Amino acid sequence: MKSLLIIFLKGIGAISVLFLVYNFILFGDFTEINIVKSIIVPACVITCLLLLFHYVLALRSGVKKNFSVHQQAMLQQEFELSEVKKKLSKETKWRIINETENTLVFKSGMSTIKSFGEIVKVTKIQSRLHIESKPSFFATLVDYGRNFQNVKKVTTILSN
């Protein structure tokens, strides 16, 4: 629930700034603006609706605890990164954007409404694989469970 509170606060801040700019453009100055009525209340309403959609769709995707847009998991199985690269390239439409000795970084494409794309990073740490997925656009507040699906997809592909 902590992640939902953080998303809520970030959402209110971002949407309040948008409403503030909109009201400034509309009125030309801040003398006519009633901050609570014109900015904070609409920002809270929009953020609550956005958070509700995010929560419901994330639950449908299988998210149980962490509703953040940054998801990660650890696989205990032994893998070579070349094998990981081969499997993920075959099973997904992600393109590889960076490859080092211990890390593979993939970029997924845009989803219709869920996201502008994600960065999926697979890092080999000793005998384990650390998988993380996060939005490619820094200002993404909600992803409707998309990054959770990416991590789940990688673990499923590699477990088979």
Q: Which CATH class is domain 71-159?
A: alpha beta
Given a contact cutoff of 8 angstroms between Cβ atoms, the answer to whether 74 and 131 are in contact is yes
Q: CA-to-CA distance for 63 and 58, rounded, in angstroms?
A: 5
Residue 80 has pLDDT above 70, yes or no: yes
| pLDDT of the residue at 64 | 87
> Cα dist. 132→19, 115, 149 in Å?
33, 16, 11
Decide: 157 and 88 in contact? Cβ < 8 Å: yes
Q: Report the Cα 106 to chain-centroid distance in Å.
A: 15
Helix (H, G, I), strand (E, B) or coil at 33: coil
Taking residues 12-35, report their average pLDDT: 77
User: Picking from 51-55, 71-75, 111-115, 152-156, which range would have the lowest pLDDT averaged per residue?
Assistant: 111-115
Report the percent of the chain where pLDDT is more than 70. 96
* Average pLDDT of the segment spanning 45-73: 90
For residue 140, pLDDT beyond 90: no
Pairs from 17-21 (Cβ < 8 Å, separation ≥ 24): 19/43
Mention every residue, 6+ apart, whose C-beta is less than 8 A from residue 126: none
Phi, psi of 65, rounded to the nearest 5 degrees = -125, -65
Task: Give me the pLDDT at residue 31, please.
Answer: 65
Q: What is the pTM of this model?
A: 0.83
Q: What is the pLDDT of residue 103?
A: 94
Beta bridge partners of 73: 131
What confidence score (pLDDT) does residue 30 get? 65
What average pLDDT is seen over the chain?
87
Residue 1 has pLDDT above 80, yes or no: no
Question: In one letter, which amino acid is 98?
Answer: N
Answer whether residue 33 shows pLDDT above 80.
Answer: no
Which sign, positive or negative, has the C-alpha torsion 27, 29, 31, 37?
A: positive
| pLDDT at residue 7 in the model | 86
Domain borders along the chain are 2-61, 71-159
pLDDT tops 80 at residue 82: yes
